[in-house]
Amino acid sequence: MAAKQGGAQKGSYRIGLLVPSSNTTVEPEFYRVLPVNVTLHTARLFLTEITPEAILKMVEELETQSRLLASADVDVVVLGATAPSFLKGLGYDREVIARIEKAAGKPATTTSTALLRALRFLGAKRVVLGSAYDDKVNAIAQGFLEANGFTVVAARGLGMVDNLAVGRLGPESAFDLARGVDRADADAMVLACTNWRTMDVIDRLERELGKPVVSTSQVSVWDALRMIGYRGEIAGYGRLLRSLAAEDLLAAVA
């Protein structure tokens, strides 16, 4: 479904965000980054634990909540949840997008789709994966990346299942994990879980590691702004959000 074009600088835009009900992080991270003429409107999907069973049940409400967001006349709908958009492997994020777009009648993306687009835009082929997840969900995330053509040279999770507990972690937990798991032969660092506070440490990690660092909240913001046509540098949250000013951005991720 075609996204609205023309640049957010020339008018006001609305982003619709679907979030897990226990997520306390992704909305504040969106608010901090969005330009003044782009507003955020959210709907919630029930989830308290990051387990495959709970994640699968969460998306049962997808159509209902997408229709509610569409009634606010949003310009794009984002499933701002990582695991629910990669759970079933290759192509599952596209299935989820199709469900949202059919229900909402609006262009849509998911966090996992945005992650793939961002890594391709940055030219990354070999990545390190750091997450808040336990080994089971982390392995599913790794498999999704590898099925989409990326080599995961190292992966480590915090072993968390309680999503509220993830939201209580400070950003230093992401910083420390990224430094500990990084590999010199990786093109980029991926930090996965939209309820994990990552945005505040991305710039610092890029300076220390000498490579692009993408987090799942960051790529969700980036893809939503890209889809509504926003063209302006957003500083302070890594190379990816600074790239929004690039004139060739649309062609680079088409």
What is the Cα–Cα distance from 234 to 214, expressed in whole angstroms? 14
Mean pLDDT of 198-212: 98
Contact at 8 Å (CB) between 87 and 140?
yes
Q: What is the pLDDT of residues 41-55, one digit of tens each?
A: 999 999 999 999 999
Give the model's pLDDT for residue 30. 96
Going by C-alpha positions, the residue among 169, 214, 167, 166 that lies closest to residue 190 is 214
Q: What is the pLDDT of residues 118-163, one digit of tens each?
A: 999 999 999 999 999 999 999 999 999 999 999 999 999 999 999 9
Q: Cβ contacts of residue 236 below 8 Å, gap of 6+?
A: 203
Q: What is the pLDDT of residues 22-48, one digit of tens each?
A: 999 999 999 999 999 999 999 999 999
Give the model's pLDDT for residue 7. 38
Residue 3 binned pLDDT confidence (cut-offs 50, 70, 90): very low
What is the Cα–Cα distance from 22 to 164, expressed in whole angstroms? 6
Give the model's pLDDT for residue 254. 52
Strands (E), 50-150: 76-79, 108-110, 126-133
